Amino acid sequence: MHFENTLQYAQKLDKNDGLSAYRKAFHFPKVNGKEVIYFTGNSLGLQPVRTQSFVNEIMTDWKELAVEGHFHADKPWWDYHERLAAPLAKIVGAKPEEVTVMNTLTVNLHLLMVSFYRPKGKRYKILCEEKAFPSDQYLFQSQVRFHGYDADDAIIVVKKRPGEHHWRTEDVLSKIDEIGDELALVLIGGVNYYNGQVFDIQKITRAGKSVGAMVGWDLAHAVGNIALRLHDWKVDFAAWCSYKYMNSGPGNASGVFINEKYLNRKDIQRFEGWWGTKKETRFMMKPTFEPMENADAWQISNAPVLSVAPYLASLELFEEVGMERLTAKRDRLVGYLEFVLGEVDKAVDARFEVITPKERGCQLSVFLHGQGRSLFDYLMENGVITDWREPNVIRLAPAPFYCSFEDMFRFGTILKQGILELGEA
């Protein structure tokens, strides 16, 4: 597609954008009295305008109904989380019964590993990507130690090739084949947090299953960002947070996928609690656990409805728009951002290096060769909210729900001015 680095052209793209009206559906912070250019939807999504009413509804029910809100609120609390399953299933490519919402991301990954990391004999190794998100690294290390293994032996990392900034799918597949019947679990981030790379979930899942391993995915940076087909791809399990592209608020409730072949089974090892037992008999206080017939069997405690309510508010927006339209705009938006970066680079010889491969979602990670932290600080002071990663990488993630093409143009103007001003300092 032919782009132009002009305000008029960017505004034309926005005028022709069928999702541009949704920008007004979100609250924007302001710097110097102007709405920011927000590039950190991969860290914390903006608050939808409608979220406040969802939370207020629960606060009002609590005030007016107290404990009776569990059953007599307009949206009863005892099954509040069930309202999220169907819309989430569409986003992750699952059946509604394969999806639930509970706890937070790393808590859920630990709970899922109780069920799906079952080391035995020589099959005990875990495969992950090099420098996985730190929380995942701690998860792996603590899990293998819990089972009595040495982390240096039990955790196998797939490395990037020397001088390259992304992983090659063939290297992941080769490592799976090499480990073979020693491999108990493949657990990788579906979209890498640092370089924004989208892994080939389908191929990697197929390869892991072919050697007899369980395959799970940390989809923190994937859900609401890329198209997913977890059921069709025969993924065993997955979990994700809800506060990045899903816009549900800081530290909020996590989503879980569990393949239907593991549902309604009593022989599955898991940590169990009251909210995972059958609804029909839950309040009979039976001493023996009777699992729900869906992913809710992994629920332990009743849902924190004040956390789940913002998630439901955001999912309404996803229902209205659909992932197909979001990903189509995402590709145009990120493509235009990459073009603008190239135009700035040519104008001021900035020596940018985009380290995100073409297999990507909303994010571009950019090496600022010859630039330092001062440029990042300049951007932040001038209303560009972005993310700095050592040694000199900025992560730019324009979420299609609320970022505009004019934002991309304005960012380029501010970036160019910052380089010029700092070069003169």
**Six-digit token string for 22:** 């949704």
Buried b (16+ CB within 10 A) or exposed e, 45-72: bbbbeebeebbebbeebeeebeeebbee
- Residue 99 is inside which H or E element, if any? strand 99-102
The three-class DSSP label of residue 34 is: strand
The three-class DSSP label of residue 129 is: strand
CA dist 32 → 16, 35, 124, 380, 382 (Å): 29, 8, 55, 11, 8
Determine the distance from the C-alpha atom of residue 164 to the mean position of all C-alpha atoms in its chain, rounded to a whole number. Answer: 24
Question: What are the backbone dihedrals phi and psi of residue 187, each rounded to the nearest 5 degrees, phi first?
Answer: -145, 105
Beta strands in 114-260 (DSSP E): 125-129, 155-158, 183-189, 214-218, 237-240, 254-258
7-35+322-424 is classed CATH 3.40.50.1390: no
Would you say residue 1 has pLDDT above 80? no
pLDDT of amino acid 371: 80
Domain with CATH 3.40.640.10 in the chain: 52-321
Question: What is d(CA 102, CA 107) in angstroms, rounded to the nearest whole number?
Answer: 9
* 294-319 pLDDT per residue, tens: 999 999 999 999 999 999 999 999 99
**Six-digit token string for 277:** 């037992």
| Cβ contact 143:112 at 8 Å | no
Q: Which residue has the tokens 């590039």?
A: 39
Q: Which CATH architecture has domain 52-321?
A: 3-Layer(aba) Sandwich (3.40)
pTM above 0.85, yes or no: yes
Q: Which pLDDT band holds residue 424 (cuts at 50, 70, 90)?
A: low
Express the helix, strand and coil content of the chain in percent, nearest 5 each. 45, 15, 35
Question: What is d(CA 22, CA 290) in angstroms, rounded to the nearest whole number?
Answer: 44
| Cβ contact 125:181 at 8 Å | no
| Cβ contact 186:204 at 8 Å | yes
Question: What is d(CA 16, CA 12) in angstroms, rounded to the nearest whole number?
Answer: 6
Q: What is the mean pLDDT of residues 109-134?
A: 97
- Residue 327 is inside which H or E element, if any? helix 323-348
pLDDT of amino acid 390: 83
* 258-290 pLDDT per residue, tens: 999 999 988 999 999 999 999 999 989 999 999
* 221-266 pLDDT per residue, tens: 999 999 999 999 999 999 999 999 999 999 999 999 999 999 998 8
Determine the distance from the C-alpha atom of residue 151 to the mean position of all C-alpha atoms in its chain, rounded to a whole number. Answer: 26
| Cβ contact 263:99 at 8 Å | no
| Cβ contact 44:250 at 8 Å | yes
Percentage of the chain exceeding pLDDT 90: 94
Q: Which pLDDT band holds residue 408 (cuts at 50, 70, 90)?
A: very high
Cβ neighbours of residue 279 under 8 Å, at least 6 residues apart? 79, 292
pLDDT of amino acid 291: 93
Domain with CATH 3.90.1150.10 in the chain: 7-35+322-424
Partner residues linked to 191 by β-bridges: 198
Would you say residue 425 has pLDDT above 70? no
Note the residue count of the chain.
425
DSSP, residue by residue, 229-274: -TTTTT--EEEE-SSSTT---TT--EEEEE-GGGTT-SSS-----G
Q: Which pLDDT band holds residue 399 (cuts at 50, 70, 90)?
A: very high
Half-sphere exposure of 398 toward its Cβ, with a 13 Å CA cutoff? 25
* 206-221 pLDDT per residue, tens: 999 999 999 999 999 9
| Cβ contact 402:14 at 8 Å | no
